[in-house]
Structure 1
Amino acid sequence: MTRTVYLNGQWLPEDQAKVSIFDRGYVFADAIYEVTAVIGGKLLDYPGHTARLKRSLEAIGISMPVSEDELLDLHHTIVEKNGLDQGLVYLQISRGAEDRNFLFSDNLTPTLSMFTQVVPLLANPKAETGLAVISMPDGRWANRQIKTVQLLYSSLAKMEAKNRGADDVIFVEDGLITEASSANFHIITKSGVLVTRQLSNALLHGITRSSVLSLALTAQLKVEERAFSVEEAQDAAEAFITSAGAFVMPVVSIDGTSIGDGKPGKTTLRIREIYIEDQLSRAMAR
């Protein structure tokens, strides 16, 4: 089935959508993106993704090409046009196109594109088996709180993990875990405390992370926001990642060392269940 995509004010079959070879998103990775999950045709955590999109665009000086109301309408329309019941909406805004130059003009027209992907978010088999991850030095740029399309290092890291028989990687900087390749990373200590890296430029300010922490506090689960090492994570009772596409996903081993009993933790699975219930309830109320 050919998807309908959005590009600069037009709805097009995916094979007819064309972006200039001079677009700075292509030439310099000069672009911001967001990914919003969809369940039952409803957008999950949408306000948080929109707020982060605005922050990221402002951080690198790209103007928002449409209003907030128009952006929400575009999301609803692309879901409807593609009959998306469960999956993801990917949005990208680049600075625009002009002849290649490290310096850019002030009056460029941003390129706005959107497409959908069908993904079995609820029936993800990894939620039942958990992820095996490996640790790797964090070689990404310093401003990781900005959600740019500069994802080559993460892509290569994921491929390295796959080649080594693992599911993903966790990045390590100065002996401490920053995050996973495309998700925030968390542990639950043997005393039952949810520990996650505090927000800074070292990691993406995850929308799912924020929702999960709020739910954990509501459920009276103690939360600590601080840095921690690979060794502490390996010694934890449970571990998990959070992201728009994975929701809450158990991690069962790091560098071959099992976490807990090597199976998805009960608290992690309960957090996943609570998060999904909460998001579906919020989405239905919008």
Structure 2
Amino acid sequence: MRTVITGEAVQLDLPAASVLVRGLSLMIDLAVYLAAYLGILLLFGAFSGTMAASLDPALTQAAMLSTLILCFVVAPVTVEALSRGRSLGRLILGVRVVRDDGGPVRLRHAIVRGLLLWPEAVLSMGLLPLLCGLLNSRGKRLGDMLAGTYGVLTRQPQTKPMMLPVPQRLSSWTQIADVGRVPDGLALRISRLLQRLDAGGRAVDSEALRRSADQLAAELRPHVMPPPPPSSTVEFLTAVMAERRNREYRRLVRRQERSARLGRRLHALPYT
């Protein structure tokens, strides 16, 4: 998961596509463009066979070169620019090319990427984009580095919301505890740990998960006041996250009610 700050100061968490996924999508695209290129050559060969005496050899070579450029440069650039970073291979594998700030690609980005597609993927036998993708944290190839783009995954597995209740022995403490200072990054890590609990809400069985819970609890305690009463680590984490969720929900409900009251007042005013 990569954090991106857009031009509007909005923080986005966009998962970068791996080198394997991007390589598979590129192979699908190249197969489609190669099939289109061979199909045009077959049609051109059938046409030139009937008019072999009237065709100039230089004109034939120019037509074949133009077809090559059309299929492997113009077509990828056009498809990527019109679809805002998509192609057939990326559509199948759920990948989209975006700018480094998370915005959609433009024509200039597609042109830079399209011009470098042939020397990268074909002339280097795929070694250059593979090497660049392995050395880059976002799996960028050389065309992405020059264009300022990278591939992101648009399909994410659905996760069930965490609906763990506040433990009974900590319910009184959560009513007076200050949990609003918990950082969002720490809260996300705690939520992921709690989601690994089974549906019955039993304590963590794995030793590795227990150590992770103890470490997260140690990071969480400085952000929570007053200190919690004696309880297990998992109960402490569950109480804080459940109360934090409940307070966010109540805050959202109050905001919606204020908006509804304001809307009713505005519609009740006489129009002049």
Using the size of structure 1 for normalisation, the TM-score is: 0.25
Normalized per residue, the structure richer in helix is 2
Normalized per residue, the structure richer in strand is 1
